[in-house]
A and B are shown apart, each in its own frame.
Chain A
């Protein structure tokens, strides 16, 4: 069975769309908190097919978009030191204060290389023992376990020239911050499929239990998303909020305990600042004591520029679902993919970039 094509079947999708149209007899606002959902909703055309009274909001679901300015300035400061930076591709164009980006400093001579996995970055360090390699550890629960496993291997193999810059963020604490913010009006949440493969369903149960918010863990194909929206709508209409796993082919209800174990062995939760959302308790990860030797901040003591506080960028309000990207005064005039002011415009999975790229 070709799962991917079944979940893109236009006829099946149209049938679910009809049911959504039938259910949507009053305004309904749902938010997704995963960049891959953002892109899939735009790319598949779902955005243009939903009934007018269903509003789609993109929350803080793109790891690049929520990386704080100070963190961006920190890795840009590291890039200018005598070391090799290993990064996921998404970070290359993210602008820091003063107009720098990894792309720009790379052209000026910084050694920045794109990797798909932290293990490949570790291999770079092993192959080049005389040079220091720093891996930029961004991402949610999806990427944190493999970075943790890499750090464990580095410790076991006594690799002394490999470091990470921990910038990981955790999704459930951010959703708690959103759900408890009285200004945010969302009727349902589409929960991130990739993150849930690690966390399982339990960390999201508070959404329905404490905040009466229907929430559905969803896959990424059009049919997955449409079905999940339909389930959200039904729960909203029947006033039976629950947290439902609608991505069982990939997400076990208990998540991946082994991955969480490795993550918890290497990292501990800390308070951290999210771009646009501010400080969120227990939403970041820092290295535990026995692994502190791998912390690039401690080793190299980079001196980042202080972030500019008044760029006019409204990413924060976009990420909270308070405004849509075109409502930001900078959108498409000052802030474009060619000259992004905020990371929501630079990352391919950012909501501003998606609006710019796909909206007619």
Chain B
């Protein structure tokens, strides 16, 4: 193997075979993948299935708290889990830029392998393409996940009902701020880490031990504010959010305040919103707080009739204001 990825590695010839064996099978191998057939054969799951796909283009490839490989596993596993499913299998397509450091690719594949093992999924089919230098930014990864839905009806963004409680599984804004500050080379007193993690083991426990979960949704791009707006709009109800109950780490709050950003709009990669009947809220919080992925879980709001599709924030001071969806990405301010 060369030090850098060559166009040959995407040719389908001997070089491709070497790359598959020495990198991908080494880190991701399992009986399904090792067959190296054109498609993966799934024989052991039936019933309603959840499928989700996502493409990861994050820059930088390695960041505090994770890398593009672990993120590509967590992101898709979490999306499948949000449908009340137990994720089982992943497909994985790599788009590599000619000249990519082979050691970086090896580290990323290893990280994917570890992440997949931790959340109990197997990569059973994959693809590799190499594009000429400049045609892509180092590496993009697409993963598709499939899992068995273990509850009926499956949770959905359109199932929130007036009287439901809104719970978040932990602190907000960690991933978005970690990436932004790392990209810009900004240093704060405390390092801010991405929260990238798999949520499926916690969501499965919630389904089994609490039940009657109306909505599960992970507030990734656009953050909590955007996701709550989507839910309010899909469900045709209003959500009232209590600012003083929303968990945000002190260093994230400080960084956001410095940069003119709002943690409620920053991306998260290891948190989810759970909406369920108020009477089950306490039990759900207990289950969440007893799990490493939900230690900082908090009840942050309620669903009510109100103005359909609107999210209202009750501020710490007791004032009320609209919590709207952003037009585009947040832009840091001048002063």
Contacts and interface: CB of A to CB of B under 8 A. Distances in A.
A359 B319 contact: no
A330 B314 CA distance: 29
A47 interface: yes
B327 A338 contact: yes
Contact of A10 (B312, B316, B322): B316
Contacts of B290: none
6 contacts: A10-B316, A45-B321, A46-B319, A49-B319, A116-B184, A194-B335
B317 A13 contact: yes
What's the interface size class on A, roughly?
35 or more
A4 B250 CA distance: 10
Nearest to A348: B333
Contact of B335 (A10, A47, A140, A348): A140
Interface string B244-263: 10000010011001001010
Contact of A14 (B318, B320, B321): B318
A137 to B, nearest CB: 10
A211 interface: no
Contacts, number: 97
Interface in B295-335: 312-322, 324, 327-328, 330-335
B334 A143 contact: yes
B186 interface: yes
Given A10-B316, A44-B317, A88 B333 contact: yes
A338 B327 CA distance: 6
A48 B334 contact: no
Contacts of B314: 45
B319 A114 contact: no
Nearest to B313: A45
Contact of B186 (A10, A116, A357): A116
Contact of B320 (A13, A138, A194, A360): A360
A348 B331 contact: yes
A244 interface: no
Contact of A63 (B316, B321, B335): B335
Contacts of B328: 93, 103
Contact of A45 (B184, B320, B331, B335): B320
Interface string A72-95: 000000000000000011101100
A91 to B, nearest CB: 8
Contacts of A36: 260, 333, 335
B315 A63 contact: no
Given A36-B260, A42-B321, A45-B318, 20 more contacts: A4-B253, A4-B254, A43-B321, A44-B317, A45-B319, A45-B320, A46-B319, A47-B319, A48-B320, A49-B318, A63-B335, A89-B332, A93-B328, A138-B334, A194-B335, A348-B330, A349-B260, A349-B333, A358-B321, A360-B312
Contacts of A349: 260, 333
A43 B315 contact: yes
Contacts of B317: 10, 13-14, 17, 44-46, 49, 222
Contacts of B322: 357-360
A42 B186 CA distance: 28
Nearest to B307: A360
